[in-house]
Amino acid sequence: MNTFLGTAVETVRTNNPLVHHITNYVTVNDCANLTLAIGGSPIMADEVLEVMEITGMSQALVLNMGTLNERTVNSMLLAGQTANEKGIPIIFDPVGAGASDFRNETARSIINMLNCAVIRGNISEIRFLAGITSSTKGVDASANDTSSIEEAQLIADQLATAHKCIVVITGAVDVISDGRRNILVHNGCAEMSRITGTGCMLTSLIASFCGSFPDQLFYAATTAVLAMGIAGELAFEQTTGTGSFRVALIDEISRIDQQTLTQRGNYVEK
Residue 181 annotated as lining a ligand binding site:
no
| Angstrom distance (rounded) from CA 202 to CA 182 | 18
Question: Which residues partner with 177 through β-bridges?
Answer: 167, 182
- The backbone region for 243, taken as left when phi is positive above 0, alpha when psi lies in -120 to 50, beta otherwise, is alpha
Residue 13 annotated as lining a ligand binding site:
no
| Angstrom distance (rounded) from CA 4 to CA 216 | 9
| Angstrom distance (rounded) from CA 259 to CA 248 | 19
What is the distance, to the nearest Å, from the Cα of residue 225 to the centroid of all Cα atoms in its chain?
A: 8
Q: CB–CB of 121/144 below 8 Å? A: no
Question: Which residues partner with 60 through β-bridges?
Answer: 19
Residue 246 annotated as lining a ligand binding site:
no
Q: CB–CB of 182/176 below 8 Å? A: yes
| Angstrom distance (rounded) from CA 258 to CA 1 | 12
Residue 44 annotated as lining a ligand binding site:
yes
Residues making up the annotated binding site are: 44, 120, 170, 197
Residues making up the annotated binding site for substrate are: 44, 197
Residues making up the annotated binding site for ATP are: 120, 170
